[in-house]
Homo-oligomer: A and B are copies of this chain.
Amino acid sequence: MISIDEARRLVMDRVEPCPPANVSLVEAVGHALAEDVKADIDSPPHAKALVDGYAVRVADLRQASVELQVVEEVTAGQVPTQSVAAGQATRIMTGAPIPAGADAVVMREQTDLRQDQASEWVTISTKGIVPGTHILELGASFRKGEIVSSAGTLVRGIEVGLLGEVGCAEVKIVCPPRVAILATGNELVHHGQRPDPGQIRNSNGPMLVAMTSRAGAEPVDLGIACDDHDELAARIRQGLDNDILLLSGGVSAGRLDLVPEVLSSVGVQTVFHRVRLKPGKPLWFGAIGSSSKSTLVFGLPGNPVSGLVCFELFVRPAIEAMSGRPNAAVMESCVELAGNFSHRGGRPTYHPGQMRVDAEKTTVLPLQWQGSADLRALTDANCLIHFPAGERSYGPGELVKVRHLDAD
């Protein structure tokens, strides 16, 4: 059996990013940029006022109180027509361009206005105004030609705003992989049906469909296949049209665990079978295809928690890398244990945990768990706690490694 790290390396060695596509700015959200995006303008395009007030010359403000003549008003969207000479000021709104001659803005709340027949006059008695006060200089955020967001960046709301600022009507993103999901087993019935004695509902199929879609990829649900060589072969061939094929069940040592041999018979090459991991040991991984187009095939164990752990450790990093985010792989972080816990096992174990954030610190509680068939315990989990192989007692406050799960 190989180690978790070795298995992940063997998976990631076979990952190729999916091809790019052009989408509208708002459709790009949740995808990775396929190329660097450069600014087509300076931002801001002009020195601009950060507050509503008066654009002034700092040299005029040497006395404790000074009255300046208001020469015009400039609102956002307008362009100043007058420059500000000695003894003058321009009334200016947030976002409007700073007129020539002015080198600071005084907030409106800190001024008094007086009007006579010929003109408006503003009195300023504020201290501490220096050149640049309440002004955002031309290009302070970025300059024309600069890369504002680089290939591989996940497009969130922030990036949509920034790409909008530089005029990206279309964005080149990496297409997410298509992931086919096939549940296998004679005992399975559709989750909408009532199982007869000996049967169980197919819950792994819908679970993997949902996890795939939450991971940002495009699920293709192939339903259920019986433990029959020809049926399995036909459904697997169908699944190989996609970037990834996930099979659930049929990879253990049982007489009806046909998945590895059927995969071989349709030309999928075995990369590894079984990983030193609990739960998830029976994991099978292989690949098929040419240099231009290949499909990664994961034979996930049929026990639901085993399947979930294998998805988190191996399938999710593959999806992220294929989606153009090779560095998105979730690291494990160290968190303090909330209580006592004893762990014993011959393999490294991922145990369901609940992280709690309070005012002072984050702690993690190992959840009561009946093993790999007990999915219910996972509904309270927001992480998996990674215990190394061996036997050990842990006390409250000890640091353990955790891997976050999809959570609130």
Contact = CB atoms under 8 A, between A and B. Distances in A.
Nearest to A48: B373
A207 interface: yes
A140 B370 contact: yes
Contacts of A381: 158
A377 B372 CA distance: 44
A360 interface: yes
Interface stretch (A262-270, A325-333, A341-349): A325-333
Contact of A198 (B29, B97, B108): B97
Interface residues of A, number: 115
* Total identical chains: 2
Nearest to A78: B198
Nearest to A41: B195
Nearest to A166: B201
Interface stretch (A62-70, A180-188, A233-241, A284-292): A180-188
A254 B52 contact: yes
B207 A157 contact: yes
Among A140, A161, A187, residue most surrounded by chain B Cβ atoms (within 10 Å): A161
A294 interface: no
A8 interface: no
B94 A254 contact: yes
Contact of A371 (B40, B50, B108, B162): B50
Residue among A29, A211, A308 with the most chain B CB within 10 A? A29
A149 B379 contact: yes
Given A198-B79, A202-B164, A254-B93, A210 B334 contact: no
A38 interface: no
Contacts of A36: none
Interface string A202-231: 111111111101100000010000010000
Nearest to A194: B167
Contacts of A48: 373
B77 A252 contact: no
A141 B362 contact: no
Contact of A162 (B158, B208, B359, B376): B376
Contact of A140 (B203, B359, B372, B374): B374
Contacts of A406: 156-158
Given A186-B75, A200-B95, A361-B334, A304 B161 contact: yes
Contacts of A78: 186-187, 198
A52 B253 contact: yes
Contacts of A116: none
A43 interface: yes
Interface string A241-276: 000000000001111110000000000000000000
Nearest to A213: B29
A198 B375 contact: no
Given A25-B206, A167-B194, 10 more contacts: A41-B195, A45-B195, A45-B197, A46-B198, A52-B253, A141-B374, A159-B379, A165-B203, A167-B193, A334-B359
